[in-house]
Amino acid sequence: MSLQSKYFSSRVYLIQLFCLSSERMAQAKMNRKQEKKLKETLLMLEDERRHADQYKEQAEKVKRFDSHEIFPLLTHLFLFLR
């Protein structure tokens, strides 16, 4: 193998390494963006779940508050406002 061909093959090898390194860096950057988006989505999902639980608890409290409890309160309020 001549000196010229060794030089040429080493240059090709360096170019291949550079391309591979660039591809890996681009992939790593894309992975970081996707991980960040996933974390944000999971946080939003958890927040929505908490809100749904709060609304459910409020609805259950309203259901438990029956008319036997409301009527005396309304009567008392009406008499107070007179």
Q: Decide if pLDDT at 67 tops 60.
A: no
User: Which amino acid would we find at residue 3?
Assistant: L
**Is the pLDDT assigned to residue 57 strictly greater than 90?**
no
User: Model-level pTM?
Assistant: 0.56
Which distant-in-sequence residues (6+ apart) come within 8 Å of 14 by Cβ? Answer: none
**What integer pLDDT is reported at residue 66 of this predicted model?**
62
Q: Residue 74: its pLDDT value, please?
A: 74
Neighbours of 47 (CB within 10 A): 10
Tokens 């992975």 -> residue: 31
Q: Is the model's pLDDT at 30 over the cut of 80?
A: yes
